[in-house]
Amino acid sequence: MNLAPTVGPLVAELLSGFTVVLLAYFDLCGFHFEKLKDLPSAGLVVLVLLAWVLGTFFDLIRNLFEHVWDCSWFAERPLDWEFFFRGDEKELAKLEHYFWSFYILDADMVVAILSFLMLGRWVLSMTIGQAQTYSPILHLILFAIAMLFALDAMLLRWEIKELLNEDQK
């Protein structure tokens, strides 16, 4: 079995973390990039590392929710996780390329956006001491975007389950 990290999960971690960093930047500085131009290269590296750490944390939260989504309240049967260890490598590659990577990205984005909406203002005011106020309409738009990601993640997870069930037949 190949234990090397795959690109899809790493991209999902970076993009979800970067999304929150960008939302926080817009909350602090407004919708322009002038302050980023003045940031030294080391500062940009720190922002990328912060995005990756945050994205890894959002992925951790998604991993914890996997157990909830597999419980009998939400699913007739859990996702066949063993397929990822015993399945045919070509089938696994197709599954990851067409479904799994996008599912992880969608689910991580939901966690990232909702985390920012629920905790972003508090974290910014506690750490930096200031935060502008996004308008309620912008909060609603961000919430709607998170719900679209959630719907897509749910549909992709269902498709993954169906594909795994077909492979077992």
Span 110-133, pLDDT tens digits: 999 999 999 887 887 777 777 666
Confidence bin at 4 (pLDDT 50/70/90): low
pLDDT in tens, 64-114: 998 888 777 777 777 888 888 888 888 888 888 889 999 999 999 999 999
Gap between the Cα atoms of 159 and 148, Å rounded: 17
For residue 31, what are the contacts with CB-CB under 8 A and spacing of at least 6? none
The amino acid sitting at 45 is V
Distance CA 11, CA 61 (A): 16
How far is C-alpha 44 from the chain's CA centre? 21
> Which residue reads 């910014």 in tokens?
124
Among 62, 56, 51, 58, CA closest to 22:
51
Give the pLDDT confidence score for residue 62 in this predicted structure.
94
Alpha carbons 21 and 5: distance in angstroms, whole number: 24
**Contact in structure between 80 and 168 (CB atoms under 8 Å):** yes
Pair of tokens at residue 156? 């992709």
The pLDDT confidence band at residue 1, using thresholds 50, 70 and 90, is: very low
Instruction: Identify the band that residue 168 occupies on the pLDDT scale cut at 50, 70 and 90.
Output: low
- Number of other residues whose CB lies within 10 A of the CB of residue 164: 18
Residue 60 has phi, psi (to 5 degrees) of -60, -45
- Give the span between the Cα atoms of 16 and 108, in whole angstroms: 6
Cβ contacts of 109 within 8 Å, gap of 6 or more: 12, 15, 16, 19, 146, 149
CA 80, CA 59: separation in Å to the nearest integer? 19
